[in-house]
Chain A
Amino acid sequence: MSVQIPPTERLRTDTIEINMGPHHPSTHGVFRMVLTLDGETVVDLEPRFGYLHRGIEKTAEERTYVQNVPFTDRLDYICGITNNWAYALALEKLAGIEVPERAEYIRVILGELTRVMNHMLAIGFLWNDLGATTFTPVVYAFRERERILDLIEMAAGSRMMPSYIRAGGVVADLPEEFMPRLQKLVPHLKRFIDEMDTMLTKNEIFRARAVGVGVLKAKDAINAGITGPVLRASGVKYDIRKADSYSIYDRFDFEVPVHTAGDVYARYLQRLAEARQSLRIIEQAMRDIPEGPVTSLPYKQLSRLKPPKGEAYGRIESPKGELGFYLVSDGSNKPYRFRIRSTSLLNLTLLREMCLGHKVADVVTILGSIDITLGDVDR
């Protein structure tokens, strides 16, 4: 039985509208959300992006196919290798280029290392958004990322902008030092993931904050085209490595982990499990890697490449989800259309629906759990 308060005596309250971003510590770049708050509860949220728009798609139409490779590094600057890979795959489909065996193994090793790196970083930043203000998990994740980036730098010459995977293979063979270091790094990364697991998974504050927050229904996720760990954390077993097996993933024995809660905690667990599976793939690839040439198309041929008229869509399972490049060729040495199906943008589309009814603090957590890179959102 509730006491009826006469309307005149009731507290007159109003909603407030706040701008979260473009400069805000936890929007992962220059992202802006217009929040309407009733007290602390989010009643409306409007994402606004485009602050980092560089017009890569249009610029790419003015460059030759090989000149576009460095642009793909700059989409999702956390995982440059997989961006290169997706573009190379599209171009290989377009021009019908064969890839040597060894190059495929190198691609798999570096791509899976990128996945481990991205997932560890995502977990670290999720904790940062949750309020581990002194960055401890982020620093741990960065340390391991540094080791992985070291290997990528050793092979490609650059840490974050590798431009290493090109149509027809990879730029150059792995240096001699690479394999011994990788063999030591993989068990180390396993230990590190176990340590993160010990430190974070059972933490009661984390569970209180993350369980049941930002639930994404499987049906909505499929309708919105959400892919990657976010989709799989919602219970949909969809991984392009299995569903539309590209490269040599059909040779490896790995599982696609699935969680069914669809909340922030499930996404966290999903990333942890996927990082473990990636290490499994790397171990097998290290064991099986053959000797041989690493590219079927040296630079001097690639730079003069004129694919036949037509179109091709190459997609891979990037750490954040399905990353696709859609290329249309008019027979010249430049793409007629260069379209990027960017993962982060599509994963962001249901942000409003996930956040409604939660608190301000949850908004940053949910955004962190989606794991976006603004370079990929705005392109």
Chain B
Amino acid sequence: MENIWTIENLWNAIGTVLRNWLAGFLPAWLVTLIMDLLVIVVLLAIGIVAVLVLSFMERKVAARAGDRYGPNRWGPYGLLQPFADAIKMLIKEDIIPHVADRFSFNLAPVIVTVGAVMTYAVLPFGRDMVAANLNIGILYFAAVGSLSIIGLLTAGWGSRNKYALISAFRAVAQLITYEVPVGLCIICVVMLAGSLSTQDIVLAQQERGWFFLLMPGIFILYFLAASAEMIRCPFDLLEADSEIIAGHFIEYSGMKFALFFLAEYIHLFAGSAMMVTLFFGGWLGPWLPSWLWFLIKTFVVIFVFMWIRNTFPRIRIDQVLKIGWKVMVPAGLVGLAITGFVDKLIADKLIAGVVLFICNIGLIIGVSYLMGRAQRRKEMAAEGAALR
């Protein structure tokens, strides 16, 4: 019997051993059921642990960007801070506004969190480490990931607060807008990989090189659209602190607020993980075990998101929609056309990759030039406006 106990295979080995042990005294259907439930529990646990780590990391990155230390009081280097935060949130009083629509008010955090957690099912955490290797994995991810829009709308409506309502409007407008470019970018990747399964996409990158290198233009497009989907800065209009205070969760407190918080960071983790899967070769990498590579890459992407959040202001809602429909959708369509033609017309994969890269650079320069020209015109028109 070959040795299954390698670091590469650690988690699968634990599963196999557990399954064999259970099969000794339980009927087969029960073993399957228990193992599936166990996977769900593990995924939920990953979600919560990720949230604890990310909330700590968010605060530390924000602090370091601002020449500060961040939380450093509770535990060595403040490492226990997320637990203190969690305890504080859980024991806070749960306030339901007198005039709120109780049903939708209570339902909203559940929808948002469930929608976020379900995306974990198709994330390829490592070689042979995916909870459900669906052959439509990406489609599932896109579909389930946008379930949270309904939750946000419910929250905004149910709170009966005008700020929350504005946030709900924004949620619907923004998230529907950015579904389209996300879909277009995913189609480009799928065309190159030839499969909708997340594992196959990763394996395709082993063969052709990371898609980030092949299609930088599509990657930037996806990065922006995905940050809009994840409600990250500069597209975090829904929870715009300085404008509509906290948006849809303005009236929430305690556990329900914690659920929104959870959903936000689960989305961040899942979105970054999906970005790694689609463009950065997923769990591919030398020397280290695959699941570690996956985590490292994911955290690098998350760091970039946090870095951006600590540097940029927010875009206005009409600009968000304008960029979405007038820039990103056309750019996505052009990118789609380029990818399709190049992939079909050029048989040699290396040459196809080079051509694709050059076309993508051209796409970036073109879009950048057009946007810059529009901005320059606007600025020239603004000059001297006060004196006219």
Q: Which residues of A contact B (CB under 8 A)?
A: 16, 18, 24-26, 37, 39-40, 127-136, 139-140, 143, 199, 203-209, 211-212, 215-218, 221, 233-235, 260-263, 265-266, 359-364
Q: List chain A residues, Cβ under 8 A from B378.
A: 211-212
The answer to whether B383 and A261 touch across the interface, beta carbons within 8 angstroms, is yes
Question: What are the 4 A-B residue pairs with the smallest beta carbon separation, nearest first?
Answer: A262-B386, A131-B314, A130-B313, A139-B66
From the candidates A127, A212, A217, A233, name the one contacting B381 in the complex (CB within 8 A): A212
- CA of A204 to CA of B313 in the docked complex: distance in angstroms? 10
B236 adjacent to chain A (CB < 8 Å)? yes
Shortest distance in angstroms between B304's beta carbon and chain A's nearest beta carbon? 15
| CB nearest neighbor in B for A142 | B66
Q: List chain B residues, Cβ under 8 A from A140.
A: 66-67
Shortest distance in angstroms between A247's beta carbon and chain B's nearest beta carbon? 29
The answer to whether B386 and A205 touch across the interface, beta carbons within 8 angstroms, is no
Q: List chain A residues, Cβ under 8 A from B67.
A: 139-140, 143
Count residues of B near A (Cβ-Cβ below 8 Å): 44
Digitize B239-250: 1 where CB-to-A-CB distance is under 8 Å, 0 elsewhere. 011111100000
- CA of A43 to CA of B68 in the docked complex: distance in angstroms? 41
- 14 A-B pairs (CB sep. < 8 Å): A25-B242, A26-B242, A131-B313, A136-B62, A209-B319, A215-B382, A215-B386, A235-B386, A260-B386, A261-B385, A262-B385, A266-B386, A359-B316, A360-B166
Q: List chain A residues, Cβ under 8 A from B388.
A: 217
- CA of A361 to CA of B320 in the docked complex: distance in angstroms? 12
B309 adjacent to chain A (CB < 8 Å)? yes
Given that A136-B310, A139-B68 are contacting pairs, would A205 and B243 also be in contact in the complex, using a CB cutoff of 8 Å? no
Known: A133-B233, A260-B383, A361-B317. 8 other contacts (CB 8 A): A18-B163, A40-B317, A134-B66, A215-B382, A218-B386, A261-B386, A262-B387, A360-B166
Total of A-B residue pairs, C-beta within 8 Å: 144
The answer to whether A207 and B313 touch across the interface, beta carbons within 8 angstroms, is no
From the candidates A131, A136, A216, A362, name the one contacting B386 in the complex (CB within 8 A): A216
Given that A215-B386, A260-B383, A362-B316 are contacting pairs, would A131 and B242 also be in contact in the complex, using a CB cutoff of 8 Å? yes
Given that A136-B310, A139-B68, A207-B379 are contacting pairs, would A130 and B162 also be in contact in the complex, using a CB cutoff of 8 Å? no
Given that A212-B381, A261-B384 are contacting pairs, would A25 and B241 also be in contact in the complex, using a CB cutoff of 8 Å? yes
Q: List chain B residues, Cβ under 8 A from A18.
A: 162-163, 166
B234 adjacent to chain A (CB < 8 Å)? yes
From the candidates A199, A260, A360, name the one contacting B243 in the complex (CB within 8 A): A360
The answer to whether B384 and A211 touch across the interface, beta carbons within 8 angstroms, is no
The answer to whether B387 and A26 touch across the interface, beta carbons within 8 angstroms, is no
The answer to whether A212 and B312 touch across the interface, beta carbons within 8 angstroms, is no
